[in-house]
């Protein structure tokens, strides 16, 4: 079974983390052909850190897990922290295929998403 | 003339801010029909803050400016800080139409972008 783990930074604001949880639920409804399981996880500031997210996927039967960093910039979290955590998880779960996706901001389609988002702008009155 | 102002948080890491500058350049190449001018600006930690970005657009001849928050979550920056700054800019430039776009994370197409990003994942060896 294939799992997708959506990894966000995590926030002290519960509402921000809830948005990621809801996005993962929306992803699950829309990618049924590619992924049997979709879970959210956070780099920090949450109970569901990346190792817990990976263990949740495995508990639901995942044999292959794709980790997708929900980050815009290729900062230290994307370049060092997440790969280091994934390396440790891979060593602990040698029978599971764990893949690391490029971070969201690296997508070639970001430009299209931005243009389509801007279409829904609202005039601000003086 | 229509301008698009891409507003990121801003980072102490020059490389992160440069990524936003490059993304704005890429946007400019790909949205010629909708926007004559595309500029980056930052909420903080940069020389180009939102008011400066708006002034740059006006200096290049913009009469209509769409401000697009390059943010994933609807936190305080998106809900309060950016709208407050835009309100002040609107009062200062009453002859310019300034519109505020939803933030990037609110896009209905985010799910598609995530799925397409995950396709390019790389297996991490144990």
Instruction: Quote the tokens at residue B104.
Output: 């990037």
Range of the domain at A106: 2-118
The yes-or-no verdict on residue A29 having pLDDT over 90 is yes
Residue A24 lies in a domain: yes
The CATH number assigned to the domain holding A16 equals 3.40.50.1400
- As a whole number, the mean pLDDT across chain A is 95
Q: Is residue B49 part of a domain?
A: yes
Q: First vs last Cα of chain A: how many Å apart?
A: 55
| pLDDT confidence band for B32 (50 / 70 / 90) | confident
Full DSSP string of A44-66: SSSS-BHHHHHHHHHHTT-SEEE
Does residue B125 fall inside a structural domain?
no
pLDDT value of position B33: 83
Q: In the predicted model, is pLDDT for residue A126 greater than 80?
A: no
How far, in Å, are A15, A25, A72, B49, B68 from residue B101 at the CA level? 21, 25, 18, 17, 5
How far is it, in rounded angstroms, from Cα A5 to Cα A37? Answer: 8
Q: How confident is the model at residue B59 (pLDDT cuts 50, 70, 90)?
A: very high
Supply the mean pLDDT for chain B.
95
B116 and A107: CB-CB below 8 Å? yes
Nearest residue to B49 (alpha-carbon basis) of B94, B76, B97, B81: B81
Q: How many domains does chain A have?
A: 1
**Which residue of chain B comes nearest to A19, CA vs CA?**
B73
Q: Is B90 exposed, middle or buried (0-12, 13-18, 19+ CB in 10 A)?
A: buried
pLDDT category of residue A30 using cuts at 50, 70 and 90 = very high
- Hey, are the CB atoms on A94 and B123 less than 8 Å from each other? no
Partners of A110 on chain B (C-beta within 8 Å) are 23, 113
Q: Is the pLDDT of residue B2 over 90?
A: yes
Structure confidence at residue A125 (pLDDT): 77
> Hey, is the C-beta of A87 within 8 angstroms of any chain B C-beta?
yes
Q: How far apart are CA B70 and CA B102, in angstroms?
A: 9
Cβ of A118 under 8 Å from any chain B Cβ? yes
Which token pair is B16?
């992160």
Q: Is the pLDDT of residue B126 over 90?
A: no
> Per-residue pLDDT tens for A93-120?
999 999 999 999 999 999 999 999 999 9
Q: ipTM, 2 decimals?
A: 0.93
What distance in Å separates the CA atoms of residue A71 and residue A93, rounded to the nearest whole number? Answer: 25
Asked whether residue A106 is assigned to any structural domain, the reply reads yes
pLDDT-derived band of residue B116, with 50, 70 and 90 as boundaries?
Answer: very high
User: Which comes out higher in pLDDT, residue A12 or B99?
Assistant: B99
Is B93 catalytic? The answer is: no
| pLDDT score at A112 | 94
- Residue-level pLDDT at B38: 97
Average pLDDT for B38-45 = 96
Q: Is A49 within the bounds of a domain?
A: yes
B81 within some domain: yes
How is chain B split among helix, strand and coil, in percent rounded to 5? 45, 20, 35
Q: What is the pLDDT of residue B80?
A: 95
Partner B contacted by A123 (CB < 8 A): yes
Two structure tokens written together for B52 = 């400066």
A107 touches chain B (CB under 8 A): yes
A17: in domain: yes
Closest Cα in chain A, distance from residue B62 (Å): 15
**What are the pLDDT digits (tens) for A49-86?**
999 999 999 999 999 999 999 999 998 999 999 999 99
Residue B45, domain member (yes or no): yes
CA-nearest residue to A10 within chain B is B73
């Amino acid at each position: 079974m294939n799992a997708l783990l959506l990894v966000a930074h995590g926030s002290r604001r519960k509402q921000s983390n809830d948005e990621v949880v809801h996005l993962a639920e929306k992803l699950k409804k829309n990618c049924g052909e590619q992924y049997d399981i979709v879970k959210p996880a956070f780099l920090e500031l949450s109970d569901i850190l990346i190792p817990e997210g990976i263990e949740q996927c495995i508990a639901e039967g995942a044999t292959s897990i794709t980790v997708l960093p929900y980050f815009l910039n290729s900062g230290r979290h994307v370049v060092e922290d997440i790969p280091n955590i994934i390396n440790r998880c891979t060593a602990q779960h040698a029978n599971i295929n764990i893949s690391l996706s490029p971070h969201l901001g690296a997508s070639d389609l970001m430009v299209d998403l931005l243009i389509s988002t801007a279409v829904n702008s609202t005039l601000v009155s003086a």
